Amino acid sequence: MAETSGTSGNETLLFLTDDQLRKGIEAMFFAYRGFTADPDRILADKGYGRAHHRAIHFINRSPGTTVNNLLSILGVTKQSLNRVLRTLIEDGLVESRVGTRDKRERHLFLTEAGETLESELSTAQRKRMRAAFRQVGPDAVVGFRQVLEAMMDRDMHHHYARLREAGE
Amino acid sequence: MAETSGTSGNETLLFLTDDQLRKGIEAMFFAYRGFTADPDRILADKGYGRAHHRAIHFINRSPGTTVNNLLSILGVTKQSLNRVLRTLIEDGLVESRVGTRDKRERHLFLTEAGETLESELSTAQRKRMRAAFRQVGPDAVVGFRQVLEAMMDRDMHHHYARLREAGE
DNA sequence: ATTTTATGTCAGCCTTGTTGACATTCCAAG
DNA sequence: CTTGGAATGTCAACAAGGCTGACATAAAAT
């Protein structure tokens, strides 16, 4: 969090041609496909989709999170998330506990089975990320993260930073 | 193409914790949302989706490309692409010419209206990419592209490289 | 000439996004 | 206390864009 503070002086008048920018755009497109490819394969076997993966990931990251909190992270409607959550709960991967302080809220947890799937998915995804990071070296990794952070919307960066706090 | 040649010696035994990798994964997730946000808004107004954007982008990149070539780039089924192409053709954004040498093929071109929309979309997307690149500086940009390339599947990297040739 | 292959189209299904209507719970104002 | 509004979660129905299967046509092979 220290190194990304503000627009600190590096407004080095860069000549960025449309070509350079377009390469970045296309790289982003093709890389994202690779990024999701391994989890997608695993999920397809079990009858789930990418939406299930996202839910599982962020429930694992913040056990006990509420549906509403999850909604603002995922940026979908509650109705859309609800469908996914319902199947995960029915299948025994996620547990939904009614809030004690506020009974309107549902707090979400992964069951053991849920943690097993989460582990399988994130292991596959980390494996690819690790290979890429190793291939290019630590400086490139820093640059990678800097650009991605600069590309996020403000509120997404907020969620990203809050998750980082917790994990660090 | 010169600087990315092979696994050249930088296999520097990196200690990559699961935490570091997960940060990369989450950065990728949140950043991709930002990456598509501006075009998505423009498209929604006109009744199109992200799939239309992808088709328009790559037709613009390779005018006269065939449906089959587009398919392998986009990585979807021809039936799925066909639905999108049909609406674009009906709406007069894309022109489909039957091949002269091989009459089975359809060659795809943007019409003037298609080029107008393409320009609107790519201008918005480049604007965000440019802002991000400027914010973080040229070294970070290099690292960004290196990681993304290392994350692509082999065949996607192939398409990426072929497009780069043409644009350079 | 007839079969096989390549390419593109049409029909129908599934996931996952959307909006609208609604039930429950909490809280604040009367 | 009760009543009206806000917050939260659920149910229903629809749209976009993936998918597979069946099929038409053109080219190539036998």
Q: Please spell the DSSP secondary structure of A125-158, one letter per residue.
A: HHHHHHHHHHHH-HHHHHHHHHHHHHHS-HHHHH
Nearest C-alpha of chain A: how many angstroms from B98? 28
Band (pLDDT 50/70/90 cuts) for residue B3 is: very low
Band (pLDDT 50/70/90 cuts) for residue B21 is: very high
Cβ < 7 Å from strand D, A residues 29-68: 66-68
Q: Is the CB of A76 under 7 A from strand D?
A: no
Q: What is the pLDDT of residues A1-24, one digit of tens each?
A: 444 444 444 555 678 999 999 999
Band (pLDDT 50/70/90 cuts) for residue A104 is: confident
Decide if A27 and B132 are in contact by the 8 Å CB cutoff. Answer: no
Instruction: Note whether B96 and B138 are within 8 A (CB).
Output: no
Query: What's the average model confidence in pLDDT over B73-89?
Result: 91
Indicate the CATH number for domain A22-136. 1.10.10.10
Q: What is the pLDDT of residues B59-73, one digit of tens each?
A: 999 999 988 889 999
pLDDT (0 to 100) of residue A166:
61
Q: What percentage of chain A exceeds 90 in pLDDT?
A: 75
pLDDT (0 to 100) of residue B150:
97
Question: Is 60 exceeded by the pLDDT of residue B11?
Answer: no
Question: Is 80 exceeded by the pLDDT of residue A165?
Answer: no
Q: How far is CA A162 from CA A1, A110, A159, in A?
A: 11, 20, 5
CA dist., res. A161 & res. B142, Å (int):
24
Nearest C-alpha of chain A: how many angstroms from B123? 9
CA(A17)–C1'(D18) in Å?
34
pLDDT (0 to 100) of residue B1:
41
The DSSP H or E segment spanning A65 is strand A65-66
Instruction: Give the start-to-end residue ranges of the domains of chain A.
Output: 22-136
The closest alpha carbon to B128, from A156, A137, A161, belongs to A156
Q: Which residue has the tokens 């990297």?
A: B157
The closest alpha carbon to B148, from A157, A148, A94, belongs to A148
ipTM score here?
A: 0.87
Q: What is the pLDDT of residues B106-123, one digit of tens each?
A: 889 999 999 999 999 999
CA dist., res. B32 & res. B36, Å (int):
6
Distance of alpha carbon B71 from the chain centroid = 13
Question: Is 60 exceeded by the pLDDT of residue B7?
Answer: no
Q: What is the pLDDT of residues A130-147, one digit of tens each?
A: 999 999 999 999 999 999
Question: Is 60 exceeded by the pLDDT of residue A168?
Answer: no
In chain A, the residue whose alpha carbon lies closest to the alpha carbon of B137 is A10
Fold of B20-136: Arc Repressor Mutant, subunit A (1.10.10)
Tokens of B157: 């990297």
Q: Provide the mean pLDDT of chain B.
A: 88
Strand D bases near protein CB (under 7 Å) are 7-13, 16-22, 25-28
